């Protein structure tokens, strides 16, 4: 599959830190992409032919291939748009890539730090439908009164966790002292961006000055990386489905349909793929690829006459067989 010959479409909604991270990376790599603005909450019926049921955002569409979860989206962008790389060489050892260190630190940022910052979201201002949607997303009923009461005390935890990141960054331009930003720089900037949005810019400037400056460096190298609705050409959800149909007959790359993982399911079998953390809504389709790095299913929508090839990271998702 040649990405240069296929249309790249980001399905996202403003305000999402994970969407912001992918927008930064798309802009940093100077990818020519289109933008579909989706609803902040479910239902999203016109996205289902693309994602097979996966409910989290963003998703990235390249022709009829759909990438779910930021881990898989980022690896897809590295595959299709390798320059500039998100895994530059370490200046301390020019023969070593920053990839392993970046991915390891990103796991910590995306789990522990994100969850801690989440405590500051003013859910007392949520409308009933947004509160219901976010409760379904995280898997438990969000208690606005309890979260509001705990928020001032959780700030000390946030500062403690950010202090670890601050000590790693220290006085360097980029976290791993690379010549250009690595994946972890975008991951850390996403957290600072998220915290700035929920706690306030003044608090960030006062308590996390170096991280605030680091965030500004990321936005600078990502040119139009701020989340603005008019930043990229917008298309409708219907137009995105037309793109899916247009590339629907494209053949899969040679040797794409492989099974070299220990997953005890045969290729061609109907399966569900479900996140293990939040948004535990299964995506369904036929298993067409299973490796140590990714799971890929083929999802058919009879109603829309489409077939999407949906990619998930192997890490963080469970794949189980379904009855035909």
Which band of pLDDT confidence, cut at 50, 70 and 90, is reported for residue 229?
Answer: very low
The span from the CA of 30 to the CA of 202, in Å, is 31
Using the predicted structure, report yes or no on whether residue 95 has a pLDDT greater than 90: no
Give CA 208 to chain center in angstroms: 24
Q: Where in the chain is the domain with CATH 1.20.1050?
A: 98-222
Mean pLDDT in the chain? 94
Q: pLDDT tens across 156-171, in order? A: 999 999 999 999 999 9
The span from the CA of 108 to the CA of 310, in Å, is 26
Selected from 3.30.310.10, 3.20.19.10, 3.10.20.30, 3.40.30.110, the CATH number assigned to the domain covering 8-83+229-321 reads: 3.40.30.110
In degrees rounded to 5, what are phi and psi of residue 287?
Answer: -70, 125
Q: pLDDT tens across 264-311, in order? A: 999 999 999 999 999 999 999 999 999 999 999 999 999 999 999 999
pLDDT score for 61: 99
* pTM, two decimal places: 0.95
Using the predicted structure, report yes or no on whether residue 213 has a pLDDT greater than 60: yes
Six-digit token string for 90: 């370490």
pLDDT score for 228: 52
Q: pLDDT tens across 13-30, in order? A: 999 999 999 999 999 999
Please give the CATH topology (third level) of the domain spanning 98-222: Glutathione S-transferase Yfyf (Class Pi); Chain A, domain 2 (1.20.1050)
Q: What is the mean pLDDT of residues 222-226?
A: 65
């Amino acid at each position: 599959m040649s990405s240069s010959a296929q249309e790249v479409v980001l399905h996202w909604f403003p305000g999402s830190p994970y969407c912001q991270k992918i927008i930064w990376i798309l802009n940093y790599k100077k990818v020519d992409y289109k933008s579909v603005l989706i609803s902040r909450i479910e239902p999203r019926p016109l996205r289902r032919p693309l994602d097979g049921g996966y409910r989290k955002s963003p998703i990235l569409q390249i022709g009829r291939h759909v990438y779910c979860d930021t881990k898989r989206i980022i690896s897809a962008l590295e595959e299709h748009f390798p320059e500039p790389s998100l895994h530059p060489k370490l200046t301390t050892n020019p023969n070593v890539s920053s990839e392993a260190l970046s991915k390891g630190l990103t796991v910590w940022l995306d789990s522990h730090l994100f969850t801690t910052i989440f405590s500051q979201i003013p859910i007392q201002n949520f409308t009933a439908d947004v509160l219901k949607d976010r409760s379904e997303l995280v898997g438990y009923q969000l208690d606005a009164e309890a979260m509001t009461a705990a928020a001032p005390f959780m700030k000390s935890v946030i500062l403690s966790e950010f202090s670890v990141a601050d000590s790693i960054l220290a006085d360097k331009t980029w976290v791993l002292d690379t010549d250009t930003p690595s994946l972890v720089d975008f991951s850390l900037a996403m957290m600072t961006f998220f915290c700035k949005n929920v706690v306030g810019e003044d608090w960030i400037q006062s308590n996390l000055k170096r991280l605030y400056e680091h965030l500004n460096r990321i936005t600078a190298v990502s040119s139009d990386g701020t989340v603005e609705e008019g930043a990229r050409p917008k298309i409708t959800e219907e137009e995105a489905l037309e793109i899916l149909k247009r590339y629907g007959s494209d053949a899969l790359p040679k040797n794409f349909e492989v099974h070299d993982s220990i997953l005890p399911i045969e290729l061609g079998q109907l399966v569900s793929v479900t996140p293990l953390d939040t948004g535990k809504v299964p995506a369904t389709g036929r298993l067409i690829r299973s490796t140590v790095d990714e799971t890929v299913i083929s999802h058919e929508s009879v109603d829309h006459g489409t077939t999407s090839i949906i990619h998930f990271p192997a890490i963080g998702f469970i794949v189980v067989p379904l009855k035909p």
